[in-house]
Structure 1
Amino acid sequence: MREFLRDMGIGINSLIAGEGAAVSQLAELSGVPVAELRRGTPRTSDGQVWFAGNCFPAARVGGRKVRGCLDCLKGQPGLRGIWPLPFVTICPEHNRPLVTLWTIQDKLDRHDVTRRLPDLDLAPEGRPEPRDPSKFDLWWLDRLEGNTAFDHWLDQFDLHASAQFCLELGRAAIATTVPKWRALRDDEQWWPADVGFRLCTGGEEALRVALADLQHLMGRPEEGPRKIFGGLHDLLAADLCPKELRPFQSILRQHILKTWPLAPGDEVLGEPVLRRESISLSALA
Structure 2
Amino acid sequence: MVYDLWLIERLDHGTDAYGLAGHSAYAVSTFARLLGGCLLRLSDQDPTPPDHQKMLAAGFDVIRQGDDAISAALDGIAKRADTEGGEPKKTFGAMHARLGDDLAQEPAFAHFHHLYRECLLRNWPFAAGDMVAGIPLERRRLHSLRSTWLELGIGQSIAEHFLTEAGVFAPDDKRPYSRKLFEAERYCRFWRMWRPWSGHKQCSRNLE
Common fold by TM > 0.5:
yes
In the TM superposition, residue 281 of structure 1 has moved relative to its aligned partner by 6.3
When normalised by structure 2's length, the TM-score is 0.62
Structure number with larger C-alpha Rg: 1
* Structure 1 counterpart of 2:101, one-letter code: A
**What does residue 115 of structure 1 align with?**
none
SS at match of 2:21: helix
* Structure 1 counterpart of 2:2, one-letter code: K
The answer to whether the 8 A contact 2:81-2:87 is kept is no
Q: RMSD of the TM alignment (CA)? A: 2.7
In 2, Cα distance between equivalents of 1:219 and 1:181 = 24
1:139 counterpart = 2:6:
yes
**What does residue 83 of structure 1 align with?**
none
* Structure 1 counterpart of 2:66, one-letter code: G
The answer to whether the 8 A contact 2:33-2:52 is kept is no
* Greater per-residue helix proportion: 2
C-alpha spacing 1:222/1:267, structure 2 compared with 1 (3 Å)? farther
The answer to whether the 8 A contact 1:219-1:228 is kept is no
In 2, Cα distance between equivalents of 1:277 and 1:264 = 8
In 2, Cα distance between equivalents of 1:247 and 1:266 = 21
Tell me the matched-pair count.
148
In 2, Cα distance between equivalents of 1:181 and 1:199 = 19
Residue identity over aligned pairs, in percent, reads 26
In 2, Cα distance between equivalents of 1:142 and 1:170 = 21
In 2, Cα distance between equivalents of 1:281 and 1:248 = 31
The answer to whether the 8 A contact 1:221-1:284 is kept is no
**What does residue 206 of structure 1 align with?**
69
In the TM superposition, residue 239 of structure 1 has moved relative to its aligned partner by 4.5
After superposition, where does 1:47-196 map in structure 2 within 5 Å? 134-150=1-17, 152-178=18-44, 182-184=48-50, 188-196=51-59
**What does residue 226 of structure 1 align with?**
89
Gaps (5+ residues) in structure 2? Answer: 144-167, 171-178, 182-208
When normalised by structure 1's length, the TM-score is 0.47
Query: Per-residue displacement from partner, 1:17-67 (whole Å, max 9, x unpaired)?
Result: xxxxxxxxxxxxxxxxxxxxxxxxxxxxxxxxxxxxxxxxxxxxxxxxxxx
C-alpha spacing 1:179/1:143, structure 2 compared with 1 (3 Å)? closer
1:269 counterpart = 2:133:
yes
* Structure 2 counterpart of 1:135, one-letter code: V
Q: Which has the higher contact order (CA 8 A, sep 6+)?
A: 2
In the TM superposition, residue 177 of structure 1 has moved relative to its aligned partner by 3.1
The answer to whether the 8 A contact 2:124-2:142 is kept is no
**What does residue 259 of structure 1 align with?**
123
In 2, Cα distance between equivalents of 1:281 and 1:212 = 18
In 2, Cα distance between equivalents of 1:141 and 1:281 = 48
Query: Per-residue displacement from partner, 1:93-138 (whole Å, max 9, x unpaired)?
Result: xxxxxxxxxxxxxxxxxxxxxxxxxxxxxxxxxxxxxxxxx11111
In the TM superposition, residue 175 of structure 1 has moved relative to its aligned partner by 1.1
